[in-house]
């Protein structure tokens, strides 16, 4: 069903008469759980007009990225500290920014049912991009909340066989009782993405002009006669993740004040018993109808099992049970200790062409079961209302990750009122981590490897200064790695046994003058070995706009206009290449990319609870004349494109 029609149908079932704008600060309260699931972090409800035009997570969550170009396609941040180093299912990691996961679930407490319907569209009938995002949350009682979010994406792409279909569903619930409370998050994601292998020659972009970008030949083809769409190469990813944390609090009963007794009972800490359940199940399918095309063009190193068809399948599930004892105090004061047991399994499948029976890979011939047990403990306290200290430790007792550990500490100095605080934060972390299983054992129709890698040591030092009154933020990170694992120029895992350091400094500043606002972010990075990790030295983004409020005296209505532009830039560097059969990025040192600015012009409009934007992406296509708008070798970014979107929020 057309997503616009679906959006209209959803709206038809919502109340038609809505009163005046309601202050979300008092109606809706939202939070996330911290990375240890021991405390809540308040988050703002998305009802603002600022940055509304950036609904693409590529531009809203990152300063600079490497991407094949189309929305929903795999991506990798060009800022090292934004990359996930602990994501265990390697070959779906590049899809995580477009998936709903329990680690990013927001929980709500609402005085009135809260609903938000958003619809976004861009492009012509040949390269259409549509997104429908439906969200609803409401309290069934004062302490019990339930909600759901459904996102469906259909993006055809500007180039041949670049289509992506993405459907994700999130159900969440929370109960905040004095004795028993819980948080629950259930998520399902399905992504089907074409793989075109990139254009045949970069000069088709830089030195040639095509009136229709879909006429540019790509490495992989297929059949595309609407409504029939059958790519020769595509990737399908399915993810199901479930999270539940349940708490029983043993609070002391407070005695009512007695006129004859002046003293009060005061409990500094009270104990809580907590059970945490986490389940993650992943499936990745890679299909190639003619693997000889990739082999003959030098993309694949070999065809190992089936010369006629590639149908690699990779499955993984992980289940973690945790039992925790936590002592909870006022504000953020807390201490916890827990025991955790983890079970996981990997399995591969390859349609045999006769070769599978003769080639046996040690350790991969059947499903591989991995078990781990570990303990962890955390401590957090606030001194004199201006100093916060947090410590965390984890140690693996048995299993595949036996002797792995992680120790981290954070010292935060802060002052000011909530919402306008200034803070200075020091962080330090030391981690010893076994290689992810897929780094050590993997088999497919194009790749096979068995590696005996050593544990990786990760040391991190970080300092952050935030001055809310000046709308200024600066952070420095120093990362020292030993035995770092990366994908080399042959797209296979390799371990660098010497030390490797990365220095990163980023700053953000907001300027307000009259009705003009400018938000800037800049990152400087330096690594001592560009052959192992390729990073741009500089990355920069800016969003500048003018706000124009319009008042209608006759109706006492108010309209807010926002007219401006976004700009993204990173310096030139040897960007990672992309391997479709692994859905991963790997090193290349043949061609430098970058040193190209991207400009978007936009108009945002807000009328009560209705927000609307009109945006012209990559408006500078063709300038500079080099037209070197690649962030991955052979994968050009999208050319100029007109998009619009609207979001309607309801409180009823």
Q: Report the share of the chain in percent with pLDDT over 90.
A: 72
pLDDT at 5: 53
Q: Rounded to an integer, what distance in angstroms lies between the CA atom of residue 36 and that of residue 247? A: 14
Q: Hey, which bits of 43-179 come out as E strands?
A: 65-66, 76-77, 107-110, 114-122, 129-139, 144-155, 164-176
Distance CA 568, CA 64 (A): 7
* Whether residue 615 has pLDDT greater than 60: yes
pLDDT tens track for 35-75: 999 999 999 888 888 888 887 767 778 889 999 988 899 99
Task: For strands 164-176 and 76-77, give the pairing.
Answer: unpaired
Task: Kindly tell me if the per-residue pLDDT of 16 is higher than 70.
Answer: no
Q: Give me the residue spans of the domains in the chain.
A: 3-15+28-254+270-651
Residue length, the chain?
A: 652
Cα dihedral sign, 570-572-574-579: positive
User: Which of 86-90, 431-435, 614-618 is predicted with the least confidence, judged by mean pLDDT?
Assistant: 86-90
Summarize the confidence of residues 123-143 as an average pLDDT.
93
- For 235, 283, 551, the CA distances from 238, given in Å and listed in that order, are 10, 5, 49
Q: Residue 4 is inside which H or E element, if any?
A: helix 3-12
Q: What is the mean pLDDT of residues 589-600?
A: 94
Is it the case that residue 356 has pLDDT exceeding 60?
Answer: no
- 368: pLDDT confidence band, cut at 50, 70 and 90? confident
Confidence class for position 421, pLDDT limits 50, 70, 90: confident
Question: Cα separation of 515 and 157, whole Å?
Answer: 37
* Residue 10 confidence (pLDDT): 46
What integer is the mean pLDDT of 78-91? 84
Q: What is the mean pLDDT of residues 20-47?
A: 78
In this prediction, residue 503 carries a pLDDT of: 97
| Architecture category of domain 3-15+28-254+270-651 in CATH | Beta Barrel (2.40)
DSSP run (H or E) holding 438: helix 437-440
Q: What are phi and psi of 98, to 5 degrees?
A: -110, 10
Distances (CA, A) of 174 to 133, 182, 183: 22, 5, 4
Higher pLDDT, 129 or 626: 129
Distances (CA, A) of 260 to 255, 256, 266: 13, 12, 18
Helix boundaries (H) for 175-328 = 203-206, 291-296
Q: For residue 261, what pLDDT is reported?
A: 45
How far apart are alpha carbons 264 and 222 in whole angstroms? 77
Write the pLDDT tens digit of every residue in 230-288. Answer: 999 999 999 999 999 999 999 876 545 444 444 444 457 899 999 999 999 999 999 99
231 contacts 220 by C-beta, under 8 angstroms: yes
Please tell me the predicted confidence (pLDDT) of residue 3.
Answer: 59
Question: pLDDT-based confidence at 227, cuts 50/70/90?
Answer: confident
Q: What is the mean pLDDT of the chain?
A: 88
Sign of dihedral through CA atoms 11, 17, 21, 26?
negative
* Section 151-162 average pLDDT: 94
Lowest-pLDDT range of 47-56, 130-139, 601-610: 47-56
Q: What was the pLDDT predicted at 449?
A: 93
Q: Is the predicted pLDDT of residue 108 greater than 80, yes or no?
A: yes
DSSP 8-state symbol, 256 = P
Instruction: Provide φ and ψ at 176, rounded to 5°.
Output: -120, 75
φ/ψ of 202, rounded to 5, equals -65, -25
Residue 332 has a pLDDT of: 79
pLDDT in tens, 541-563: 999 999 999 887 655 678 999 99
Q: What are phi and psi of 296, to 5 degrees?
A: -70, -25
Q: For the chain, what percent of residues have pLDDT higher than 70?
A: 89
How far apart CA 538 and CA 522 sit, in angstroms, is 7
């Amino acid at each position: 069903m057309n997503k616009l029609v679906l959006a209209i149908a959803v709206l038809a079932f919502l109340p038609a008469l809505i009163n005046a704008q309601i202050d979300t600060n008092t109606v809706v309260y939202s939070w996330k759980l911290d990375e240890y699931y021991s405390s809540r972090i308040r988050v703002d409800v998305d009802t603002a007009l600022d940055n509304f035009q950036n609904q693409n997570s590529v531009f809203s969550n990152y300063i600079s990225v490497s991407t094949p170009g189309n929305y929903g396609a795999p991506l990798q941040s060009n800022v090292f500290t934004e990359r996930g180093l602990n994501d265990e299912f390697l070959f779906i990691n590049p899809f995580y920014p477009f998936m709903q996961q329990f680690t990013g679930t927001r929980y709500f407490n609402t005085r009135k049912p809260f609903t938000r319907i958003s619809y976004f569209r861009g492009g012509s009938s040949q390269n259409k991009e549509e997104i429908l995002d439906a969200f609803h949350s409401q309290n069934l009682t004062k302490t019990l909340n339930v909600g759901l979010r459904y996102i469906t994406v259909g993006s055809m792409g500007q180039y041949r066989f670049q289509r992506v279909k993405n459907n994700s569903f999130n159900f969440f619930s929370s109960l905040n009782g004095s004795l028993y409370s819980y948080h629950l998050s259930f998520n399902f994601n399905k992504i089907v993405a074409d793989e075109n292998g990139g254009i045949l020659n970069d000069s088709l972009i830089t030195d040639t002009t095509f009136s229709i970008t879909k006429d540019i030949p790509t490495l992989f083809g297929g059949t595309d006669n609407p409504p029939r769409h059958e790519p020769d190469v595509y990737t399908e990813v399915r993810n199901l993740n479930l999270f539940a944390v349940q708490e029983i609090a043993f609070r002391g009963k407070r005695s009512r004040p007695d006129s004859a007794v002046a003293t009060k009972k005061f409990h500094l800490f009270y104990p809580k018993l907590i059970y945490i359940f986490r389940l993650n199940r992943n499936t990745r399918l890679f299909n190639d109808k003619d693997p000889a095309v990739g082999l003959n063009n030098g993309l694949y190193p070999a065809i190992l099992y089936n010369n006629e068809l590639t149908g690699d399948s990779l499955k993984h599930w992980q289940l973690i049970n945790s039992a925790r004892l936590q002592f909870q105090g006022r504000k953020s004061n807390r201490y916890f200790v827990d025991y955790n047991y983890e079970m996981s399994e990997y399995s591969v499948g390859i349609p045999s062409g006769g070769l599978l029976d003769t080639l046996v890979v040690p350790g991969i011939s059947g499903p591989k079961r991995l078990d781990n047990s570990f303990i962890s403990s955390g401590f957090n306290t606030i001194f004199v209302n201006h100093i916060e200290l947090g410590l965390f430790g984890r140690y693996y007792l048995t299993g595949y990750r036996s002797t792995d550990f992680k120790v981290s500490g954070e010292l935060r100095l802060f002052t000011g009122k909530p919402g306008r605080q200034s803070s200075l934060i020091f962080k330090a972390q030391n981690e010893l981590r076994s290689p992810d299983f897929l780094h050590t054992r993997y088999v497919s129709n194009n790749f096979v490897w068995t590696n005996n890698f050593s544990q990786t040591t990760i040391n991190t030092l970080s300092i952050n200064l935030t001055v809310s009154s000046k709308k200024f933020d600066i952070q420095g990170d120093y990362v020292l790695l030993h035995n770092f694992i990366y994908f080399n120029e042959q797209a296979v895992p390799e371990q660098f046994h010497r030390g490797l350091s990365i220095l990163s400094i980023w700053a953000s500043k907001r300027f307000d003058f009259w009705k003009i606002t400018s938000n800037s972010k800049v990152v400087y990075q330096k690594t001592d070995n560009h052959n192992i990790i390729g990073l741009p030295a500089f990355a920069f983004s800016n969003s500048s706009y003018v706000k124009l409020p319009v008042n209608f005296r006759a109706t006492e209505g108010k309209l807010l206009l926002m007219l401006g532009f976004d700009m993204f830039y990173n310096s030139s560097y040897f960007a990672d290449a992309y391997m479709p059969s692994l859905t991963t990025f790997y090193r290349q040192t043949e061609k430098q990319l970058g040193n190209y600015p991207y400009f978007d012009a936009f108009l945002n409009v807000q009328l009560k609870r209705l927000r609307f934007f009109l945006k012209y992406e990559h408006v500078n296509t063709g300038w500079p004349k080099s037209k070197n708008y690649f962030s991955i070798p052979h994968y050009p970014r999208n050319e100029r494109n007109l998009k619009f979107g609207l979001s309607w929020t309801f409180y009823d």
